[in-house]
């Protein structure tokens, strides 16, 4: 089996439900602009660093910048100059935290989110339009010295293809993680393996690998049994703790954090069937407890 790598978990749900932080538009990046916010982010990321250090695992940390793009930033009062600053600062913030864990093999990844809603995109972007849109944020990550960029909660292949193109132009590796509905298909109805095939066919420089995030393993485990050549391109797994649908999660007023041990067991079983699943963390409803359980179930027994 390939080496297992840990990553982080559901930052925004941890902030909102465990620390009572108001997150307009579900955006965490404004916390970088005040001391209390930076302290909370430091608490979250250090917890994951400690888990990886104890497990002897490499760690990929995503910058808290899922919403730090032009449209969402404008809603929060951030213009292009402010977004460039905060995206660069996010990379430097994680680099500085990494210095506290000298022997930890840390990869700092600049995190992008979709231009539109992460569950129900109103517009399906072409690769050309998506590359133009995401180029600025990717450029900020490159300028700050990020090791790679990652798009989480990609909703359709066109936008994902544009992100891969823009990253290739900027000379930085890129990871694309799609979200799926309870039927294992993307929000636009496309099967997961077809989206991967479309992105790979549309881009001359391939993504480093693909991933699945913001869905429970019960929703996508069947989709992993289709088209082995495409599915084997998936290395990143960041599942939700909850079995709820996206629509149900949108309306939830209480956190469904599931059972960390159960979720870790599902990861281990998926890993047995699909050894290409290499980078393991969580998404909505998960926190350091879930990542620690995953480490115990998967990393330390690999």
pLDDT at 122: 76
Tell me how far apart the alpha carbons of residues 55 and 32 are, in angstroms, rounded to a whole number: 28
pLDDT at 57: 95
Q: What is the CATH number of the domain that holds 177?
A: 3.20.20.330
Tally the domains of the chain. Answer: 1
* Neighbour-count burial of 276, counting CB atoms closer than 10 A to its CB (0-12 exposed, 13-18 middle, 19+ buried): middle
Boundaries of domain holding 186: 5-299
Number of DSSP helices (H) and strands (E) in the chain, helices first: 12, 8
The interaxial angle of helices 35-55 and 80-98, nearest 10 deg, is 40
Where on the phi/psi map is residue 171: left (φ > 0), alpha (ψ -120 to 50), or beta?
Answer: left
pTM here is 0.96
pLDDT at 2: 54
Name the nearest CA neighbour of 284 among 247, 240, 252, 251.
Answer: 240
**Sequence-ordered list of residues with C-beta below 8 angstroms from that of 191, at least 6 positions apart, any chain:** 184, 185, 223, 226
pLDDT at 1: 42
* Neighbour-count burial of 295, counting CB atoms closer than 10 A to its CB (0-12 exposed, 13-18 middle, 19+ buried): buried
pLDDT at 244: 83
- In this structure, the dihedral spanned by the alpha carbons of residues 118, 121, 127 and 129, taken in order and rounded to 10 degrees, is -100
Q: At 21, phi and psi to the nearest 5?
A: -90, 130
Rg, C-alpha atoms of the chain: 17
Could you read off the pLDDT tens digit of each residue along the chain, which spans 302 residues?
458 999 999 999 999 999 999 999 999 999 999 999 999 999 999 999 999 999 999 999 999 999 999 999 999 999 999 999 999 999 999 999 999 999 999 999 999 999 988 777 778 999 999 999 999 999 999 999 999 999 999 999 999 999 999 999 999 999 999 999 999 999 999 999 999 999 999 988 899 999 999 999 999 999 999 999 999 999 999 999 988 887 787 777 788 899 999 999 999 999 999 999 999 999 999 999 999 999 999 975 44
CA distances from 124 to 11, 99, 116, 186 (A): 26, 40, 9, 12
**Sequence-ordered list of residues with C-beta below 8 angstroms from that of 58, at least 6 positions apart, any chain:** 3, 5, 6, 52, 104, 105, 106, 107
Strands (E), the chain: 5-7, 59-62, 106-112, 148-154, 174-178, 209-213, 234-239, 279-282
Name the nearest CA neighbour of 258 among 271, 243, 247.
Answer: 243
pLDDT at 301: 44
Tell me how far apart the alpha carbons of residues 84 and 139 are, in angstroms, rounded to a whole number: 8
Collapsed DSSP state (helix, strand, coil) of residue 279: strand
111 close to 144: Cβ distance less than 8 angstroms: no
**Sequence-ordered list of residues with C-beta below 8 angstroms from that of 64, at least 6 positions apart, any chain:** 11, 28, 29, 31, 32, 41, 90, 111
């Amino acid at each position: 089996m390939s080496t297992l790598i840990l990553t982080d978990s559901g930052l925004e749900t941890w902030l909102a439900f465990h620390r009572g932080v108001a997150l307009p538009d579900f955006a965490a990046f404004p916390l970088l602009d005040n001391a209390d916010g930076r302290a909370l982010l430091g608490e979250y990321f250090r917890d994951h660093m400690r888990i990886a250090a104890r497990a002897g695992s490499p760690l990929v940390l995503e910058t808290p910048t899922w919403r730090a793009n032009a449209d969402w930033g404008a809603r929060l009062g951030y213009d292009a100059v402010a977004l460039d600053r905060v995206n660069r600062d996010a990379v430097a913030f994680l680099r500085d935290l990494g210095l506290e864990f000298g022997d930890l093999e840390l990869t700092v990844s600049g995190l992008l989110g979709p231009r539109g809603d992460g569950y129900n995109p109103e517009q399906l972007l072409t690769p050309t339009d998506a590359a133009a849109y995401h180029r600025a944020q990717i450029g900020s990550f490159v300028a700050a010295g990020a090791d790679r960029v990652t798009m989480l909660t990609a909703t359709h292949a066109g936008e994902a293809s544009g992100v891969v193109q823009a990253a290739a132009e900027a000379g930085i590796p890129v990871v694309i993680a799609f979200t799926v509905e309870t039927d294992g298909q993307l929000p636009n109805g496309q099967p997961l393996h077809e989206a991967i095939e479309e992105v790979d066919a549309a881009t001359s420089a391939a993504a480093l690998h693909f991933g699945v995030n913001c869905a429970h393993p019960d929703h996508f485990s069947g989709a992993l049994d289709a088209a082995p050549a495409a599915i084997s391109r998936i290395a990143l797994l960041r599942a939700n703790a909850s079995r709820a649908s996206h629509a149900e999660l949108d309306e939830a007023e209480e956190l469904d954090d599931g059972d960390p041990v159960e979720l870790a067991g599902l990861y281990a079983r998926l890993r047995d069937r699909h050894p290409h699943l290499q980078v393991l963390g969580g998404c909505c409803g998960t926190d350091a407890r879930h990542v620690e359980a995953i480490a115990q179930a998967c990393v330390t027994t690999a």
